[in-house]
Amino acid sequence: MALEVVKNSDEFKRFVTKAKEIKNYKEPIGFGIARVDRGQKNSEKILQATYPIINWNENFGSAAVFIASLNECGICVDFNKDEFVTDVTREFVLNTMNAFAPFLNEAVGEEHKNVQVIKHINELFATDTIGDKSYKVVFIFEDKAPKSVESVYLKLYALSTSKADLRSLNLNGAFGILENVAWSGNTPIELEWLRENEISLKLDAKYPEINSVDKFPRFLQHIIPASNTRILETSKVRMGAQLHSGTTVMPGASYINFNAGTTGPVMVEGRISSSAIVGSGSDVGGGASILGVLSGTDGNPISIGENTLLGANSVTGVPLGDGCIVDAGVTILEGTKVTISTEEFNKIKDANPNWDANDTDVFKGGVLADLNGVHFRQDSITGTIKAFRSTREVKLNEELH
């Protein structure tokens, strides 16, 4: 059995409406078609999922077509599960082509990317050039802990394409689902396969060039950044990071982990640890560390506001607002005692009218969290860590006044 060819876009609309009448039908949060890399030794193991395009809270018509096509193949999507993954078969592609018929010709360039994916796989099937490649259709219905390699990758894509906000997705257990593999270029290789073939690979001078051994791939293996975004070394940004347009990542001591990144143009020469977010116009100086939830912050993820400067080799363990400065070499942790004069306290208070604090000599770093316009310095005569009102502009939220 195959779906009938849909004749025009009106008929397509009716097709979609009808497709959604399947019992318990649910719009997916995210879906897409992925090419998967399988284990060299154990081909049942999925090592990586590569999405040419993902859908995230969008393109529900295409989702309905995919679900109806699966149904026609006798595969019932279980809408009670958090996610659903199944093989892309010739029959599925044929059905989907029929449903997408009105759009096949116009599916080029920026138009109908899901249709382009189906068209291309259809060509591969037709010409037998599909080789050992295999494809999966993947749906996420509830943002729960992922259960498959394919859904982990779909979420990482949602983060790295900025379709989902940082920290907004449930990635619990992702480390357990992903296999630790040797990456040779974009190809993941099972470590056990390498071990079993080490003797012949080495003697034959065919041992692969390994770039990393990790569960995660690198951002640039999957994501094309905006034209004004620069990443001077691919290892410095992990898949699942989010870099907004205009961000530059230098190759010195920098690193941006997954589920971390920037919200606008940011110069990154330091470390943005997992779950940390840096605001537009800010500067993470050479070797500067923003602590992450996996190390040293009691699980409170750190946000750095806009237009804030973290000096070279500074360490920031508390969230900062807009227009702050942490001087080069200065460390501010939750427990750091920071001395503020009454004059500077009043200026900082002016820049932060909602700050609920009384004047005192010494504040713990944690108490200063999220304030705007604070300049942290170490007095080079007395060694005292002090805070001042910074010279950086802070755009006050007018509604708060």
Q: Which of residues 8-37 bind a copy of itself (CB under 8 A)?
A: 35
- Identity (one letter) of the amino acid at 170? N
Nearer to a copy of itself, 74 or 383 (CB): 383
Q: Which helix (H) or strand (E) holds 55?
A: strand 54-56
Cα separation of 88 and 90, whole Å?
7
The strand pair at 30-38 and 46-50 is best described as antiparallel
Question: Does an H or E element contain 138, and which?
Answer: strand 134-140
198 binds a copy of itself (CB under 8 A): yes
Could you say which of 83, 150, 269, 306 is catalytic? 269
* x-marked contacts with a copy of itself along 350-369 as a string, rule CB under 8 A: ------------x-------
Please report, as a single letter, which amino acid is at residue 331.
T
Q: What string marks each residue from 274 to 293 as x (binds a copy of itself by CB under 8 A) or -?
A: ---------x-xxx-x-x--
Give 19 or 189: the residue with its C-beta nearer to a copy of itself.
189
Please state the separation of Cα 219 from the chain's center in Å. 8
Eight-state DSSP code of residue 334: T
Residues 225-264 that bind a copy of itself (CB under 8 A): 225, 227-236, 238, 250-255
Q: Which residues ranging from 92 to 111 are in contact with a copy of itself (CB under 8 A)? A: 109
Which positions from 34 through 53 interact with a copy of itself, judged by CB under 8 A? 35, 50-53
Residue 337 binds a copy of itself (CB under 8 A): yes
The residue within the footprint of a copy of itself, chosen from 41, 162, 331, 367 (CB under 8 A), is: 331
What are the φ and ψ backbone dihedral angles of 247, each rounded to 5 degrees? Answer: -75, 140
Q: Which is nearer to a copy of itself, 7 or 202 (CB)?
A: 202
How many CB atoms sit inside 10 A of residue 371's CB? Answer: 25
Q: Would you call 269 a catalytic residue per the annotation?
A: yes
Integer angstrom CA distances of residue 177 from 42, 60, 147, 202, 372: 16, 28, 7, 30, 40
Q: Does 391 bind a copy of itself (CB under 8 A)?
A: no
Q: How many residues bind a copy of itself (CB under 8 A)?
A: 97
Query: Which residue numbers are catalytic?
Result: 269
